[in-house]
Amino acid sequence: MLSSLQRFVARFRRTLLGCLLVFGGASVVTAQNPDAKLTAPDVAAISPAEMQAVYEEAKTPYKYGVVIEPKAEAKVDCPNVFRFEDKWYMIYVELQPNPEQGYTTELAVSDDLLHWKKLGTILPRGPEGAWDSANSGGGVALFDPTWGGGNGLQTYEGRYWLTYLGGNEYGYEKTPLSIGLAWTEDPANPSPWRRLEKPILRSSDADARPGEKDTLYKSTILHDETQTLGAPFVMYYNAKPPRGSEQIFAATSHDLRAWKRVGDGPVVENHPQPGATHGVISGDPQIVRMNDMWVMYYFGAFWKEGAFDTFAASRDLLHWTQWDGPNLIDRSEPYDDMFAHKPWLVKHDGIVYHFYCAVGGKRHHRTIAVATSRDMKTPEAVHAP
């Protein structure tokens, strides 16, 4: 009898781990992962009050405006902002129009997070015949996750790193795309970073899960000193199957080069409304450490109207409570009247800066804009304590 009861409890726990738990305006997604140190019953839930506190901390109601414009006929996207020495830098991608569409990775510099100067290309498209000859769209790795901290980049092997989506098919995010790795010894130098010869993750990998069998998109790598998931490096990335929705997955590594996928499915997922004829998107994750929680800023699209920025929170980097409340930012201006999405948030001197991709106008002009927690357009507000 005891043996039967134990088997029942084990089956119940496995079923519970695979479920979506909904409570108090937030939802918890659990990725099954037998190798993780923590399982769902061991993890303290994120309360609705804690989720509300994250929203209040991160909201940025004051739109400063566009800070990066693309060159003629191009589009800019995916801002990643960090501090190095005494300046701010932004790594972002630019969709080049010629000879055919494809991403490059660009660098800009600022003294105040509001006024930016373009410095040049740090990751051009790969050479002819290379796996990344059409697309090399990058974002920083090993960003210091301390919310309100130094906002710098951490090093590994004495180098600074970025991950990038790459592919050899021209066109806007033409599949398949894989994830590559590149490095530099000076992230302020607008010279090409050195890239590894081969991708570090592919949709065709033997251990790729069903939800990532078509293509892999934007990624970020966190250095977790406590090795909560059994390794010091944790990657979050969005991916999709041949048919279906784009969700956020996780993988771990001991050396940035060899990666082990975490669990059987996504760690953050959302679903189409009943009757919808297309999938939805959860993507472009950024991870910060806020008090005793991990917070993932990410963008969503199409499970409610438009594309928007939102967040999830976790105690253990595996079980994520998703915010179901108001968007972190809403479209409201001519430059973002279509989409206000793809977040990168930093807190500096008590002010939150929310960088995002703004899409607006009849031609869907794509720029990078910033919104802030304090009105930065008036001198009185800028210099207020």
CATH 3.40.50.200 assigned to domain 22-30+43-382? The reply is no
pLDDT score at 43? 67
- How confident is the prediction along the chain (385 residues), in pLDDT tens digits per residue? 334 434 333 333 333 333 333 333 455 544 444 344 445 556 678 999 999 999 999 999 999 999 999 998 899 999 999 999 999 999 999 999 887 889 999 999 999 999 999 999 999 999 999 999 999 999 999 999 999 999 999 999 999 999 999 999 998 899 999 999 999 999 999 999 999 999 999 999 999 999 999 999 999 999 999 999 999 999 999 999 999 999 999 999 999 999 999 999 999 999 999 988 899 999 999 999 999 999 999 999 999 989 999 999 999 999 999 999 999 999 999 999 999 999 999 999 999 999 999 999 878 899 999 999 999 987 655 444 4
Q: Residue 182's closest CA among 260, 257, 78, 284?
A: 257
> What is the residue-wise DSSP string for 121-186?
EEEPPPPTTSTTSSEEEEEESSB--BTTS---B--BTTBEEEEEEEESS-STTPSP-EEEEEEES-
pLDDT of residue 27: 52
**3-state SS of 41-69?**
HHCCCCCHHHHHHHHHHHCCCEEEEEEEC
CB 117 within 8 A of CB 108: yes
Degrees, nearest 5: CA angle 252-253-257:
130
CA–CA separation, 176 and 166 (whole Å): 9
pLDDT of residue 377: 87
Q: Could you state, in order of their start, the residue ranges of all structural domains in the chain?
A: 22-30+43-382
Distance, CA of 308 to CA of 357 (rounded, Å): 10
Identify whether the C-beta of residue 124 lies closer than 8 Å to the C-beta of residue 104: yes
In this predicted structure, what is the pLDDT of residue 21?
Answer: 36
User: Residue 23, Cα to own-chain centre: how many angstroms?
Assistant: 25
Burial class for 7, CB neighbours closer than 10 Å (0-12, 13-18, 19+): exposed
pTM of this prediction?
0.89
Phi, then psi, of 57 in degrees rounded to 5 = -70, -35
- List, in sequence order, the alpha helices (H) in the chain: 2-17, 48-58, 379-382
Buried b / exposed e over 271-287, threshold 16 CB at 10 Å, is eeeeeeeebbbbbbbbb
CA-to-CA dists, residue 178 to 39, 65, 103, 279, angstroms? 30, 33, 13, 20
Q: What is the pLDDT of residue 381?
A: 53
Distance of CA 360 to the CA centre of its chain: 22
**For residue 166, what pLDDT is reported?**
98
